Amino acid sequence: MSEQVEARLAQARAWLRQDPDAETRDELAGIITRASSGDAAAIADLDDRFGTRLAFGTAGLRGALGAGSNRMNRVLIAQAAAGFAAYLRAHVHGSAPTVVVGYDGRRNSRRFALDSAELFAGAGLRTILLPRLLPTPVLAFAVRHFGADAGVMVTASHNPPDDNGYKVYLGGVDGGSQIVSPGDIEIAAHIQSVADDSDVTSLPRSTTYETANEDVISAYIRETAALAPAPPSAKNLNWVYTAMHGVGWETFTRILREAGYPQPKTVGEQLSPDPRFPTVSFPNPEEPGAMDLAFAAATRARADFIIANDPDADRLAVAIPDDSVDGGWRRLSGNEVGLLLGARAARAAQGRPGASLACSLVSSPGLGAIAAHHGLDFHETLTGFKWISRAPGMVFGFEEALGYLVNPETVRDKDGISAAIAVLGLAAEAHERGDTLATLLTELGDTYGHFASGQVSVRVDDLSIISKIMLALRTLPPTRIGDTAIQSAEDLLQGSAGQPAGDVLRYRLADGSRVIVRPSGTEPKLKVYIDAQADSAEDARRAVADVETGVRALLEEHS
């Protein structure tokens, strides 16, 4: 047996000795036994599990459950919690740092949250554990509500069923936003130090953490309901809701009652938390098929619209009747919902000095047009709400991936529940004058210009394929996309004036279209975003379709 295999086996055995989880211990012991006998598949499996660590990056940690440093498990969580505690002790001066811990309904979420709470308390931090599984926005709210120095949410959001994650927020001057550089780099270094120097069984633990009472949830409900109290016409709204097997419904239904909205028809099969996500192949309302049960329920109810949250309820999807598409229902794009909510916020903020709208650079440029129309500032950021939430003077921010920040004074992150309340407010106001959400979309184009967006995504099993495509595009820069010449190209890898660096390529085409290429920060995908503006909605959609065809050909050429 080679020295490399022996070293990998020694690494795996050392991990096994400190693993407190019987399931992952048994899993790893079996792999070690097979690898020791020379099984090539088991040796390759060990290389995959221990050849690297899950990177602490865009949303903290996120990955598949299982044994090893490249998986989500109790050993990795213990290292992360101890490393994060060391970071907080080094950066928070005076009293002991305060950290809030929350969790959703995924496999092992509660166990990871309890481990974290015990380790934080053992490290001398004041630790507040939320009382039960809850939406991610409630944790983000709780960081500000308690004046905490940090927050941790155990969730993998809309990732596949076998994933979990560890999302980190910072309080204080960061205001409850997600971590950014250099904080993420420093936290990763502390975690690595723990992994290098400590057996997790020797890390101090304590059960002296606090468990929050219902007051924090009630406060979130009051603040969110106040965003858009129901007008009298709301009682006539007929709509459908799905929680996508996640944790959104319990909190959302209480907010509906508080705000005065009627209860929706619900997709019963998807209403309660279920970590198996049995009715969907992928628990993300953006994915094909994920909303099919909601479409069927809405058809039976002759509903006016559909609202869907993703499993941790930080994202929102909206669908409206549309006879021109199969099934009779069309899910609005994140850009369409973002512009509807952006216009709502802009009207409310007009005349307020310093007020701004913000979106990520891959989201619709239509938000900039709305800001200009109402005399507001506009900020375009790198992808992710860790950047959007820090835009100066922001009253509203969004990202095309169904994320909306509508209440920055209380939640400095995307929030699919508060966004849903804002959409209900728009729908009720439209209903009062005999209009619909579709009417509001038409009015958007007439008022601010007609924008259309599209996206091409390439999902891969091997992340090196994405790196290969990005390298090819940089090494042999394209001059055309389809039949349209590229007028200018920007590589944001080294950053630009006023913006941090990002692995992003941006092209502006001769017809005025914009194309942006970037790897996903949370999924094994390469994403290409296409935006166009035209004199009519139909012309804008046609321009996007033409560019999409050219993009697919370009990606095939470089794959």
Residue range(s) in the chain whose domain bears CATH number 3.40.120.10: 57-213, 223-448
* CB contact set of 412 (below 8 Å; sequence gap of 6+): 140, 144, 169, 175, 176, 177, 385, 389, 405
β-strand pairing of 239-242 with 305-309: parallel
pLDDT in tens, 147-157: 999 999 999 99
Residue in 62, 156, 63, 39 with CA at minimum distance from that of residue 103: 156
Are 522 and 515 a contacting pair, CB within 8 Å? Answer: no
* CB contact set of 360 (below 8 Å; sequence gap of 6+): 380, 381, 382, 383, 384, 387, 388, 399, 400
Q: Which residues pair with 291 in a beta bridge?
A: none
pLDDT at 499: 65
pLDDT in tens, 427-486: 999 999 999 999 999 999 999 999 999 999 988 888 889 999 999 999 999 999 998 999
* Residue indicated by tokens 């669908």: 319
From CA 501, how far away is CA 523, in angstroms rounded? 20
From CA 365, how far away is CA 536, in angstroms rounded? 16
Catalytic annotation, pick one of 116, 157, 177, 356: 157
CATH number assigned to the domain with residue range 57-213, chosen from the 4 options 3.10.580.10, 3.10.20.30, 3.40.120.10, 2.40.128.630 = 3.40.120.10
Q: What is the pTM of this model?
A: 0.93
* CB contact set of 257 (below 8 Å; sequence gap of 6+): 263
pLDDT at 431: 95
Give the DSSP letter string of 421-464. Answer: HHHHHHHHHHHHTT--HHHHHHHHHHHH-EEEEEEEEEE-SSTH
Give the DSSP letter string of 95-109. Answer: SPPEEEEEE-SSTTH
CATH number listed for the domain at residues 450-558: 3.30.310.50
Residue in 179, 177, 206 with CA at minimum distance from that of residue 190: 179
pLDDT at 300: 97
Per-residue pLDDT of the chain (559 residues; tens, 9 = 90+): 788 999 999 999 999 999 999 999 999 999 999 999 999 999 999 999 999 999 887 568 999 999 999 999 999 999 999 999 999 999 998 889 999 999 999 999 999 999 999 999 999 999 999 999 999 999 999 999 999 999 999 999 999 999 999 999 999 999 999 999 889 999 999 999 999 998 999 999 999 999 999 999 999 999 999 999 999 999 999 999 999 999 999 999 999 999 999 999 999 999 999 999 999 999 999 999 999 999 999 999 999 999 999 999 999 999 999 999 988 999 999 999 999 999 999 999 999 999 999 999 999 999 999 999 999 999 999 889 999 999 999 999 999 999 999 999 999 999 999 999 999 999 999 999 999 999 999 999 999 999 999 999 988 888 889 999 999 999 999 999 998 999 999 998 876 655 667 899 999 999 999 999 999 877 789 999 999 999 999 999 999 999 999 999 999 887 7
Three-state SS across 53-77? Answer: CCCCECCEEEEEECCCCCCECHHHH
Residue range(s) in the chain whose domain bears CATH number 3.30.310.50: 450-558
Indicate if 333 belongs to the active site: no
**Which helix (DSSP H) or strand (DSSP E) does residue 49 occupy?**
helix 40-50
Q: How far is CA 34 from each of CA 361, 422, 496, rounded to the nearest angstrom?
A: 48, 55, 50
Tokens, residue 166: 């560890």
* Residue indicated by tokens 């190209």: 489
CATH number listed for the domain at residues 223-448: 3.40.120.10
